[in-house]
Amino acid sequence: MPDLRSELERIRVPEAEESERQARLLIEAAFDERSAGAGDRRRRPGRIVAAMLSLIGASVIALTPAGAEVREWIKDTVTDVGEPNAKPALTRLPAPGSLLVSAGRGAWTVSGGGARDRLGTFDDVGWSPHGLYVATAEGRSLSARTAAGETRWEIEADAAVTDPVWSPNEGYRVAYRSGDELRVVWGDGVNDRAIGAAVAVAPAWKPRAGKRNVLAYADPTGHVRIVDADTGELLGAARSPAAPVDLDWTRDGSQLLVLLRDSIRVLDPEGDEIRRAKLSRSREAVGGAFLPGRDTIVLLLRSERSGARTSVVFVNHVGDELSKRTIFTGSGRLTGLAVAPNGRRMLVGWPRADQWLFIPTKRTNRIEAVGNIRRQFGTGENEPFPRVEGWCCQAR
Amino acid sequence: MDKLGLRLRRPTGSAGGAGDLAAPLPALGPLRADAAHRSERKLVRAAKRGSKEAFGELFNMHWPRVHRASYLIIRDSAAAEDIAQEAFMAALRHLDRFDARRPLGPWLHRIVVNRSIDWTRTSRIRSEVHADSWREETGVPGPESAAPAVSGELMSALGRLPVERRAVVVMRFLLDYTPSEIAAALELPTGTVNSRLRRALDQLGSDYEEAADA
């Protein structure tokens, strides 16, 4: 018959094995540092520290004087931070499709074989649904260009253009923000019109909307609005207590993710709430998207407690159950979440490690890391880290 | 015994007595056994001499229980990991001054339990994912699991206890300390520890009965 003691032993600690593994690496590295300090101050290359940091980051280390010593050492070996066995160059993508990348003020495409082509200097970019064109924003200008860089059309807005998002429905519309206004222009550059005031989050086109062009965006009155972009008809709305971090539809257009810094909300196309979950107060969502299907959301969760680190977390929501699984944790920030067209990999940037991480969405595969990302895109240390704006089109 | 068959080891005798709370539990953890203690002393001495392997063995011996204790008190796996790591880093920092004749476990446990209490107090009422039925995938087993739901209910019931009571329950029933040892570790009168234990067990018992009735 179970008693209290055995029941306390039976409660499973979430991610216990991973926690133990990370802690062991930290302790081993700290022990090495202690030994080095007590002995001949030898400084072995930070292989253990690199492995440790790839998993837990310097954040945890900041907690104790011993950790502080390790952290000081880490400063000397910061280039070792990152996933071990990272490839030195991007020679191929581990899933079909092509990448669209913002690096510094330049935009690049990366083919499946790893070939990089610089499109030009832009503030913001977005793929067309089949990867044939790129919507580019530069100052108050919005243009459509071929993937080879040839300009097809260009319009001038009243204020700076950001977040160009091409409709997935055969590319008939492009949404963009100009100042604090959301606008939509047809895919051939005509019929530019205002939709309404919007806050600084990229709008999200609803896939599989039939002949309609349905757009979700966040307005400054604290609502997420779902509208027909052609008629202006309001199809749905939901209160949003804060500006969303991300908006993303499932690929079948049946659910809309409204990601807030402190919570997840999932809406149906009428704006009715299907799901709400609050994050732990110690973590803040900085990015998120649906994986193919409707059951899994991938989140980038940043924690500032005991230092900065960001985790890639899968959230499964099926029926009444929500569960989460931490896939990866890195020191500092992870940026630019992009999911492969086939849904089998996702890509996040890890600026502190100067790496891109191709993370599998199934347990059977391993993370593939590619290093020297700044150098490959000609980006200086003081410029924003190369960011993947889109991973497009299996057939491309 | 409650309706779900969970034996809570309630105090016996008069309401004010310590009853079996003060008695050692029959199944002592291996860390408290003499052989384990001797082994631990050797490992501490070896670690002090610079053996990373020895310190690794100490880590292996103590991490699971230290981490679990923190998690049961604060119910946040990431924070529990941080707090347990802190304890081991502190152990490493003080290794040279540590008296190898004394067991390492109580020293680690005292740090972890006190820091877990502090963390929970400073966090106030946390809007944890648990409150939104957000179950950690690797956490409390769900109904489909081979493990019965008792552990999940226990976790919920623990969460309803004030952190100070939760801590003494964890120290008593997970870490196997006597009330006087708990009192020393938490710098409390033994009577206060006994009182907290009794109230905690009463509350857990009634929670189970409500769960069983529901």
Q: pLDDT by residue for chain A (396 residues), tens digit each? A: 357 888 899 888 887 887 787 778 778 777 876 776 665 433 343 444 444 444 443 333 222 333 333 333 333 222 236 777 788 888 889 999 999 999 987 899 999 888 899 999 999 999 998 888 999 999 999 999 998 889 999 999 999 999 999 998 776 899 999 999 999 999 999 999 999 999 999 999 999 888 899 999 999 999 999 999 999 999 999 999 899 999 999 999 999 999 999 999 999 999 999 888 888 777 899 999 999 887 899 999 998 765 688 889 888 877 666 777 788 888 889 999 999 998 889 999 999 899 999 999 876 668 889 999 999 998 888 888 999 999 998 555
**Where residue B165 sits, what CATH number does that domain have?**
1.10.10.10
What is the mean pLDDT of the segment spanning B60-82?
A: 89
How far does the CA of residue B140 sit from the closest CA of chain A (Å)? 5
Q: Cα(A354)–Cα(A338) distance, rounded to whole angstroms?
A: 17
How far does the CA of residue B206 sit from the closest CA of chain A (Å)? 14
Mutate which of B21, B76, B88, B89 to disrupt the A interface (most A C-beta within 10 Å)?
B89
Q: What is the DSSP letter of A321?
A: E
Task: Please indicate, yes or no, whether residues B44 and B117 belong to a single structural domain of this protein.
Answer: yes
**For residue B161, pLDDT beyond 70:** yes
Task: Please indicate, yes or no, whether residues B61 and B95 belong to a single structural domain of this protein.
Answer: yes
* pLDDT grade for B139, boundaries at 50, 70 and 90: very low
**Which stretch of DSSP H or E encloses residue A165?**
strand A161-166
pLDDT, position B123: 58
Task: Please indicate, yes or no, whether residues B152 and B192 belong to a single structural domain of this protein.
Answer: yes
Q: Cα(A244)–Cα(A238) distance, rounded to whole angstroms?
A: 12
Q: What is the DSSP letter of B170?
A: I
In-domain check, residue B59: yes
**Where residue B66 sits, what CATH number does that domain have?**
1.10.1740.10
pLDDT, position A40: 41
In-domain check, residue B119: yes
**DSSP reduced 3-state for A148:** coil
What is the domain range of residue B205? 148-214
**Domain termination residue (choose one: B89, B124, B159):** B124
Go through the domains of chain A in sequence order and give each one's CATH number. 4-80 (no CATH), 98-392 (2.130.10.10)
In-domain check, residue B85: yes
Task: Please indicate, yes or no, whether residues B51 and B116 belong to a single structural domain of this protein.
Answer: yes
Task: Please indicate, yes or no, whether residues B39 and B109 belong to a single structural domain of this protein.
Answer: yes
φ/ψ (deg, to 5) at A259: -95, 120
**For residue B1, pLDDT beyond 70:** no
In-domain check, residue B129: no
Q: Cα(A360)–Cα(B44) distance, rounded to whole angstroms?
A: 41
In-domain check, residue B54: yes
In-domain check, residue B86: yes
pLDDT, position B103: 86
pLDDT, position B150: 58
DSSP string, B75-115: --HHHHHHHHHHHHHHHHHTGGG--TTS-HHHHHHHHHHHH
Smallest Cα–Cα separation from A335: which of A318, A347, A323? Answer: A347
Give yes or no for a contact between A396 and A131, defined as CB atoms under 8 angstroms apart: yes
Mutate which of B137, B153, B168, B172 to disrupt the A interface (most A C-beta within 10 Å)?
B137
Task: Please indicate, yes or no, whether residues B109 and B158 belong to a single structural domain of this protein.
Answer: no
Domain count, chain B: 2
Q: What percentage of chain B has pLDDT greater than the value 70?
A: 66
CA dihedral B137, B138, B143, B149 (to 10 degrees): -140
What is the mean pLDDT of the segment spanning B185-197?
A: 93
Give yes or no for a contact between B204 and B210, defined as CB atoms under 8 angstroms apart: no
Cβ–Cβ below 8 Å for A280 and B78: yes
> How, if at all, do strands A321-331 and B134-136 pair?
parallel
Using the Cβ of B128 and the Cβ atoms of chain A, whether some distance falls under 8 Å is answered with yes
Task: Please indicate, yes or no, whether residues B63 and B116 belong to a single structural domain of this protein.
Answer: yes
In-domain check, residue B139: no
In-domain check, residue B2: no
Task: Please indicate, yes or no, whether residues B209 and B157 belong to a single structural domain of this protein.
Answer: yes
